[in-house]
């Protein structure tokens, strides 16, 4: 088992990275390790455990801003916001269940730093964006052992390059974040979901496009085909369900619910979920519930990001033995492959290439992740540019080397 370094403050993070640099050691950068199983297995000597950097350092609800040490548990931040009728509008999804973390044992939804490093988002991605869109400022220790800051605590800021964006989604390969500032937003007063039943994937994508192209201000759109529908909460029937969420003040939700139901009627039978059912449904979407069961967990899981209206075309090119469902109006497809040790990367990547977008192998045996490309391979010029960006932050490869791309 690897050693663990657990710094107590930002200065100690810098010390740890400098130590690693001068001793030619590679560090695994981790918060609570909830997403450790995502990415290529990194060849590291020591874990840099940032979960000791905790605490909300600034929270001003009327200014819509919150700063915290990067290791602060996401659950703590979400609870604090909820008390003030606010939330992280990017609705971070919860990887715990699909990765097999168990309540009461090793379950955690991770840290705020981890949520940002993985650029988490949820069903509301289509309307509110991902972690990147809410990430305002940071302090971080680069792979050069230098502490940098970027951004600030205000939403509008174009002073210097937007380093927050490039660190969001960099999976700890560029710098170890020590302090982060995020934009927070009011929680919607209420919500409801309009469901069309019985659609095939192509009609579902068309229905979702119609809904999202209307002025109904849809805040989530998912299609749950019949072979997986029964795994989701809040749905009355085990039928294929195309679900559209509406959030806002009560009079508005009421009005839009009727407008949307009328708009969708030509596609198929429409039913309505009340606030409780709606919350339950979207929680299970956020947890990718069908693929979190004991039996599903042994199978490789892909996450495909593509042009939403063409999601069904990507899916059609994938083996019918796979199970799948769509979020983001068809733009995010979760695909569970039929056989444990066979991610079938070539066929998945060919399917995605036919439309455009990319695929990430979110879950597979470590040996499989070590030999397959977990993230989408890039064209040579772009791959070379990404490598140069890695070198700009971490020239010696001390931070999570190889986690995203072999040898980088």
Partner 1 sequence: MSVRMPEADGAVLARRAAIVKALRTIVPGEGVIATEREMRPFESDGLTAYRQLPLVVVLPETTKQVSEVLAYCHAEGVKVVPRGAGTSLSGGALPLEDGVLLGMAKFNRIKDIDFANRVAVVEPGVTNLAVSNAVAHAGFYYAPDPSSQIACTIGGNVAENSGGVHCLKYGMTTNNVLGCELVLMNGDVVRLGGKHLDAEGYDLLGLINGSEGLLGVVTEVTVRILQKAETQRAVLIGFPSSEDGGECVSAIIAAGIIPAGMEMMDRPAIHAVEEFVHAGYPLDVEALLIVELDGPQAEVDHLIERVVDIAKQCKSMTCRVSASEQERLLFWAGRKAAFPAVGRISPDYFCMDGTIPRSQLPKVLAAMKDMSAKYGLRCANVFHAGDGNLHPLILYDSNKEGEVERAEEFGAEILKLCVAVGGVLTGEHGVGVEKRDLMPVMFSEIDLNAQQRVKCAFDDKGLLNPGKVFPVLHRCAELGRMHISGGKLPFPDIPRF
Residue 375 found at the interface with partner 1 (CB under 8 A): yes
Residue 45 found at the interface with partner 1 (CB under 8 A): no
Query: Which CB sits closer to partner 1, 274 or 391?
Result: 391
Site for partner 1 in 195-254 (CB under 8 A): 206, 209, 212-215, 217, 248-249, 251-252, 254
Q: How far is CA 342 from CA 5, 319, 346, 362, 375, in A?
A: 35, 12, 11, 13, 16
Q: Decide if 315 contacts 324 (C-beta within 8 A).
A: yes
Residue 158 found at the interface with partner 1 (CB under 8 A): yes
Query: Which CB sits closer to partner 1, 157 or 203?
Result: 157
Binding segment toward partner 1, per CB under 8 A, in 263-271, 286-294, 339-347, 352-360: 352-360
Q: Decide if 246 contacts 290 (C-beta within 8 A).
A: no
Query: Which CB sits closer to partner 1, 7 or 113?
Result: 7
Number of amino acids touching partner 1 (CB under 8 A): 108
Radius of gyration (C-alpha) of the chain in whole angstroms: 21
Query: Which CB sits closer to partner 1, 235 or 256?
Result: 256
In the bound complex, what is the minimum distance in angstroms from residue 340's beta carbon to partner 1? 25
Q: Decide if 320 contacts 374 (C-beta within 8 A).
A: no
Q: Tokens at residue 266, please?
A: 């030509």
Strand partners, 151: 137
In the bound complex, what is the minimum distance in angstroms from residue 327's beta carbon to partner 1? 10
Binding segment toward partner 1, per CB under 8 A, in 99-107, 190-198, 262-270, 300-308: 300-308
In the bound complex, what is the minimum distance in angstroms from residue 251's beta carbon to partner 1? 4
Query: Three-class SS of residue 112?
Result: helix
* Strand duo 46-49 + 3-5: pairing: parallel
* Strand duo 218-224 + 241-248: pairing: antiparallel
Query: Which CB sits closer to partner 1, 238 or 316?
Result: 316
Residue 163 found at the interface with partner 1 (CB under 8 A): yes
DSSP state of 175: E
Residue 400 found at the interface with partner 1 (CB under 8 A): no
Nearest to 75 by CA among 44, 121, 34, 108: 108
In the bound complex, what is the minimum distance in angstroms from residue 305's beta carbon to partner 1? 4
Residue 353 found at the interface with partner 1 (CB under 8 A): no
In the bound complex, what is the minimum distance in angstroms from residue 308's beta carbon to partner 1? 6
User: In which element (H, E) is residue 324 found?
Assistant: strand 323-327
Binding segment toward partner 1, per CB under 8 A, in 55-63, 106-114, 234-242, 276-284: 55-63
Q: Decide if 232 contacts 182 (C-beta within 8 A).
A: no
Q: Decide if 306 contacts 331 (C-beta within 8 A).
A: yes
Q: Tokens at residue 279, please?
A: 């919350």
In the bound complex, what is the minimum distance in angstroms from residue 130's beta carbon to partner 1? 6
Site for partner 1 in 260-299 (CB under 8 A): none
Query: Which CB sits closer to partner 1, 185 or 280?
Result: 185
Binding mask 19-38 for partner 1 (x = CB under 8 A): x-xxx---------------
DSSP state of 154: S
Rounded to whole angstroms, the Cα distance separating 281 from 283 reads 5
Site for partner 1 in 79-138 (CB under 8 A): 85, 119, 121, 125-126, 129-130, 132-133
Query: Which CB sits closer to partner 1, 163 or 229?
Result: 163
Query: Which CB sits closer to partner 1, 146 or 342?
Result: 146
Which of 397-408 are b and which e, b meaning 16 or more Cβ less than 10 Å from the residue's Cβ?
A: bbbbbbbbbeeb
Question: φ and ψ at 179, to 5 degrees?
Answer: -140, 140
In the bound complex, what is the minimum distance in angstroms from residue 291's beta carbon to partner 1? 20
Residue 12 found at the interface with partner 1 (CB under 8 A): yes
Query: Which CB sits closer to partner 1, 73 or 143?
Result: 143
Question: φ and ψ at 362, to 5 degrees?
Answer: -75, -35
User: In which element (H, E) is residue 306 found?
Assistant: strand 301-306
Rounded to whole angstroms, the Cα distance separating 124 from 285 reads 11
Residue 40 found at the interface with partner 1 (CB under 8 A): no
If you search the block for the tokens 């989604």, which residue do you land on? 169
Rounded to whole angstroms, the Cα distance separating 277 from 263 reads 22
Residue 302 found at the interface with partner 1 (CB under 8 A): no
Query: Which CB sits closer to partner 1, 56 or 64?
Result: 64
Looking at 7, 172, 225, 343, which residue binds partner 1 (CB under 8 A)?
A: 7
């Amino acid at each position: 088992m690897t050693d663990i370094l657990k710094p107590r403050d930002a200065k100690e993070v810098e010390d740890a990275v400098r130590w690693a640099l001068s001793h030619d050691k590679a560090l695994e950068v981790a918060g609570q390790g909830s997403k450790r199983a995502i990415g290529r297995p990194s060849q590291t000597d020591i874990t840099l455990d940032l979960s000791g950097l905790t605490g909300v350092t600034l929270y001003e609800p009327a200014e819509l801003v919150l700063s915290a040490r990067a290791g602060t548990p996401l659950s703590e931040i979400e609870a604090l916001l909820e008390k003030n009728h606010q939330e992280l509008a990017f609705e971070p999804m919860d990887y715990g269940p699909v990765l097999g973390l168990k309540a009461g044992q090793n379950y955690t939804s991770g840290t705020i730093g981890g949520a940002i490093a993985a650029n988490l988002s949820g069903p509301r991605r289509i309307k509110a964006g991902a972690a990147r869109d809410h990430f305002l400022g940071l302090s971080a220790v680069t792979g050069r052992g230098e502490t940098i800051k970027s951004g600030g605590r205000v939403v509008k800021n174009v002073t210097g390059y937007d380093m927050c964006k490039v660190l969001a989604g960099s999976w700890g390969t560029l710098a170890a974040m020590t302090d982060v500032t995020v934009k927070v937003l009011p929680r919607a007063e209420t919500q409801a979901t309009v469901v069309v039943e019985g659609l095939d994937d192509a009609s579902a994508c068309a229905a979702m496009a119609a809904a999202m192209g209307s002025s109904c201000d849809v805040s989530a759109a998912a299609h749950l085909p019949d072979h997986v529908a029964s795994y989701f909460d809040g749905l009355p029937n085990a039928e294929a369900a195309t679900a559209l969420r509406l959030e806002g003040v009560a009079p508005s939700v009421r009005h839009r619910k009727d407008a949307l139901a009328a708009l969708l009627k030509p596609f198929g039978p429409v039913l309505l979920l009340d606030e409780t059912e709606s919350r339950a449904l979207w929680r299970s979407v956020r947890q990718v519930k069908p693929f979190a069961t004991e039996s599903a967990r042994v199978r490789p899981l892909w996450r495909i990001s593509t042009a939403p209206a063409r999601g069904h075309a990507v899916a059609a090119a994938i083996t019918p033995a796979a199970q799948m469902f769509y979020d983001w109006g068809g733009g995010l497809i979760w695909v569970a492959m039929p056989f444990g040790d066979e991610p079938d990367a070539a066929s998945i990547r060919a399917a995605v290439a036919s439309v455009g977008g990319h695929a990430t192998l979110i879950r597979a045996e470590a040996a499989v992740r070590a030999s397959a490309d977990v993230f989408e391979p890039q064209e040579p010029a772009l791959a070379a540019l990404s490598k140069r960006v890695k070198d700009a932050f971490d020239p010696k490869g001390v931070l999570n080397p190889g986690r995203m791309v072999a040898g980088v």
